[in-house]
Amino acid sequence: MITFFVAFLVSLMVALGLTYVVRNQALAWGWLDQANSSRKVHVRPIPRLGGIGIVAGFFAPLCALFLVDSGVGHNFRSHTDLVMGLFVGGGVIAALGLYDDLRGANARLKFSVQFAVALGLYALGFRIEVIANPFGPELSLGALSLPFTVLWMVGVVNALNLIDGLDGLAGGVAFFGVSTNFILALSRGDVLLCLLMAALAGAILGFLVFNFNPASIFMGDTGSMFLGFVLAAVSIKTSTKSGTAVAMLVPIMALGLPIMDTLLAVIRRSLLGRPLFSADKEHIHHRVMSRMVLSHRSTVLVLYALCGLFMLTALGLNFANSAQSALLLCGMGVVIAVMMRKLGYLDLGRAGDMQQRRQRNLRLRSVVKQVIGSVRETRSPQEVWSAVRPLAEVLGVSRQELRFQKADDGLVEGIVFETERAAGLSLPFERRLEVKDEDQVLGSLLLVWRDGRDAIDRDEELALELVADAIAERAVKFLAVADAEPGRVIALRR
């Protein structure tokens, strides 16, 4: 136990110190997560890259084992597959997250790297070969072992990434998963897995000092994907050494909240015709906050309690017999169903218009894709305006305005494009989106409806934010080389 405590303490101190340094440097260098989207919960720019502290905190005591001549160190070094998988795979995933936090990585790059790492781990012996069944005989995967293992690895990595939506949430969720694996490994006398989980627990807690609400730094994709990777890899080792009848169900239950949230997101976006990788504010943590009218911190604490329930269920499954396991699963199923009903995921009253919303969203996605593609090929403000004008018809707006501006010695110079359509006679409702590059305002996109609405549809809002981001990319380029004519207005009506 002393070895575990030392590993925990070393990782805790490294994570604390490095997170503090990274936070201050991120503030100094402007590496901030801007609150420039309706998808963001925070209202001010927050430093990111806190995941660096988690990664360094986890690896610090493990690297020390290469330098210390001890039984634990020798045992660790002798497991070359485990060492190589964690160090090489974890390093690649952390590097991918760091690149995404600094430069931005598209879904294709992320999945390509994640699948490559998962295949590498499978080659090193990280394999799921049996799916246990408390209601009957276990199922041997055979040739399906490879796709199932890869799906588990990639799924958990992205599940932790998706759940990272509130201060302290992803770190807390990961801590409960780590605690489950530590207790299971300790009950079996697995020193190495206990050591790994003690190191990761220290790294998480060291980071949470700065990340719990109100957060002063975010972990970013560097931290969330790395946590998902380590938990997915260690869970495979934990389940393969289990002698219970529900081996693989234990890690699934231990990570029940992020897995459930990911499955709901995939189902929801598929049914509504939304892009699978688009962000929204309908995750479990968003709905708990809005429907239960809770504060940011209270929402996180409620979800911590839910993770604790998943953790106790996972431990119960490990030590229970088949009949008891079946009862535990049924009981947890009832709890999940009640929660889904409470949060509105099982609202049958909304099922009737789902197909209509799906068709509208598919059409909107098609138009937005064309608009963004056209915007990215433009070379002047006039061409950008021509590219975005089709939005007026597909969104049914009565007035659309695109404004470019450039601040110079306290004065604002700009170009304004506008168009009007006959689209209703009700009181106007308007939505203005800033066209921003980091903290620099480059202009705005204004849309006005007269169809009687008093709010904008969430799918329309997300689509407009994507268009505004694309406009900002181009505006940075041509506003940097050409000054706008002061007060110039070009009115285009039809």
> Which range marks the domain in which residue 382 is found?
375-491
Contacts of 26 (CB under 8 A, 6+ apart): 32, 47, 48, 49, 217
Q: How many CA atoms does the CB half-sphere of 82 hold within 13 Å?
A: 15
What is the C-alpha to C-alpha distance for residues 170 and 156, in angstroms, rounded to an integer?
12
- Give me the CATH number covering residue 414: 3.30.450.40
- Whether residues 476 and 383 share a domain: the answer is yes
- Whether residues 100 and 224 share a domain: the answer is yes
> pLDDT in tens for each of the 494 residues of the chain?
788 999 999 999 999 999 999 999 988 887 777 655 555 554 567 888 999 999 999 999 999 888 877 777 788 888 888 889 999 999 999 999 999 998 888 889 999 999 999 999 999 989 888 877 666 677 788 888 999 999 999 999 999 999 998 999 999 999 999 999 999 999 888 889 999 999 999 999 999 999 998 899 999 999 999 999 999 999 888 776 554 445 677 888 999 999 999 999 998 888 888 877 777 788 999 999 988 889 999 999 999 999 999 999 999 988 888 788 889 989 999 999 999 989 988 776 666 677 788 888 888 889 999 999 999 999 888 899 999 998 888 888 899 999 987 655 443 457 888 888 887 778 889 999 888 876 678 889 999 998 888 888 878 888 888 899 899 988 887 765 544 444 444 343 33
Residue 135, judged by CB atoms within 10 A of its CB (0-12, 13-18, 19+), counts as exposed
The residue among 304, 325, 346 that closes a domain is 346
- Whether residues 326 and 395 share a domain: the answer is no
The residue among 290, 325, 346 that closes a domain is 346
Residue 239, domain member (yes or no): yes
The residue among 325, 346, 367 that closes a domain is 346
The number of domains in the chain is: 2
Nearest to 445 by CA among 401, 384, 406: 401
Residue 332, domain member (yes or no): yes
- Whether residues 388 and 454 share a domain: the answer is yes
Is 161 assigned a ligand-binding role in the annotation?
A: yes
Query: What is the phi/psi pair of residue 181, to 5°?
Result: -65, -35
Residue 367, domain member (yes or no): no
Sign of the Cα pseudo-torsion (243, 248, 251, 254, in order):
negative
- Whether residues 245 and 394 share a domain: the answer is no
Residue 362, domain member (yes or no): no
Contacts of 372 (CB under 8 A, 6+ apart): 466, 467, 470
- Whether residues 94 and 228 share a domain: the answer is yes
- Whether residues 320 and 415 share a domain: the answer is no
- Whether residues 330 and 400 share a domain: the answer is no
pTM: 0.84
- Whether residues 103 and 175 share a domain: the answer is yes
Residue 338, domain member (yes or no): yes
- Whether residues 331 and 384 share a domain: the answer is no
- Whether residues 422 and 332 share a domain: the answer is no
AA identity, residue 208 = L
Residue 255, domain member (yes or no): yes
